[in-house]
């Protein structure tokens, strides 16, 4: 199973980031989990240097290789400090204006610099008529439009319904199971056999009380965790639940 630990804009200091990394490394060692930690970009190089068996992801990259883009980081820079993954299209970046088209360009930029993209998709709200499925299809189509079958094996898809991020509880496992089937069918139609083995993750308010259930009944290959990944006691509860 894959566990992506999105620290978002936490913790406050590099010292605290190292403590969190150490605790995460110890917890991962005891479990059969592929752990990917996504620290804020300012900590990326230091965390990558001490990552041990963990993988390291940037939380975002720019579409361009270099240039006048104050405050941004490029895929090659992320790769050069030892990270091997990148979150692309996270709901919190889309809320700041990131478009489907930019997501597609970032996926291409990531792959060109040997970063494995973790592509985040998710609808803002649900409706009774299933229009949200169309939103997911459009997001996936745009993100994957320039990806070849050979490169597709490097991709990870993370479904994060916006309404379940930062909420009190995750989406139901039944709803996730349906979404896993929907995404899997899309991936198969686009990439054939490769699409069958691309990991599909769930993200949104996962913690120690919900992780196990979502893994087993949501039919997912892993989880993308926000709050419970950067709070030391919640992080321990999460790993205990995944024993």
Residues with a catalytic annotation lie at 90, 160
- 226 touching ligand 13P, by CB under 6 A: yes
- By CB under 6 A, the residues from 53 to 92 that bind ligand 13P are 90
What is the rounded end-to-end Cα distance, in angstroms, of the chain?
A: 12
Q: What is the CA radius of gyration of the chain?
A: 17
Select 50 or 227, whichever has its Cβ closest to ligand 13P: 227
- By CB under 6 A, the residues from 206 to 225 that bind ligand 13P are 206, 224-225
- 8-state DSSP, 213: H
φ, ψ dihedrals at 25, nearest 5°: -60, -45
Select 8 or 184, whichever has its Cβ closest to ligand 13P: 8
Among 76, 15, 77, 74, which residue's Cα sits nearest to residue 50? 15
How many CA atoms lie within 13 Å of 23's alpha carbon, on the beta-carbon side? 19
126, 190, 227, 236: residue in contact with ligand 13P (rule CB under 6 A) = 227
CB of 145 to ligand 13P, least distance (A): 23
In which residue are the tokens 């040997």 written?
114
205, 210, 214, 238: residue in contact with ligand 13P (rule CB under 6 A) = 205
Q: Are 204 and 182 in contact (CB under 8 A)?
A: no
Q: Can you give the binding site for ligand 13P, defined by CB under 6 A? A: 6, 90, 160, 165-166, 203-206, 224-228
């Amino acid at each position: 199973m894959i566990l992506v630990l999105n620290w978002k804009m936490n913790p406050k200091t590099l010292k605290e980031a190292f403590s969190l990394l150490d605790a995460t490394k110890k917890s991962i060692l005891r479990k059969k989990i592929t752990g990917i930690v996504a620290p804020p970009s300012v900590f990326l190089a230091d965390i990558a240097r001490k990552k041990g068996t963990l993988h390291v992801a940037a939380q975002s990259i720019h579409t361009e290789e270099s240039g006048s883009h104050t405050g941004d980081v490029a895929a090659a820079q992320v790769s050069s400090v030892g990270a091997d993954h990148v979150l692309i299209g996270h709901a919190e970046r889309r809320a700041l204006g990131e478009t489907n088209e930019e997501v597609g360009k970032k996926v291409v930029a990531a792959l060109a610099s040997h970063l494995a993209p973790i592509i985040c998709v998710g609808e803002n709200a649900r409706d009774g008529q299933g229009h949200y499925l169309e939103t997911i299809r459009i997001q996936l189509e745009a993100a994957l439009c320039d990806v070849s079958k050979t490169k597709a094996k490097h991709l990870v898809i993370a479904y994060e319904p916006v309404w379940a991020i930062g909420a009190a509880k995750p989406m139901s496992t039944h709803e996730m199971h349906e979404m896993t089937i929907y995404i899997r069918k899309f991936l198969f139609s686009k990439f054939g056999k490769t699409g069958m083995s691309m990991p599909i993750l769930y993200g949104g308010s996962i913690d120690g009380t919900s992780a196990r259930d979502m893994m087993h009944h949501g039919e997912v290959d892993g989880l993308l965790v926000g709050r419970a990944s950067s709070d030391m006691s919640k992080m321990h509860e999460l790993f205990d639940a995944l024993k």
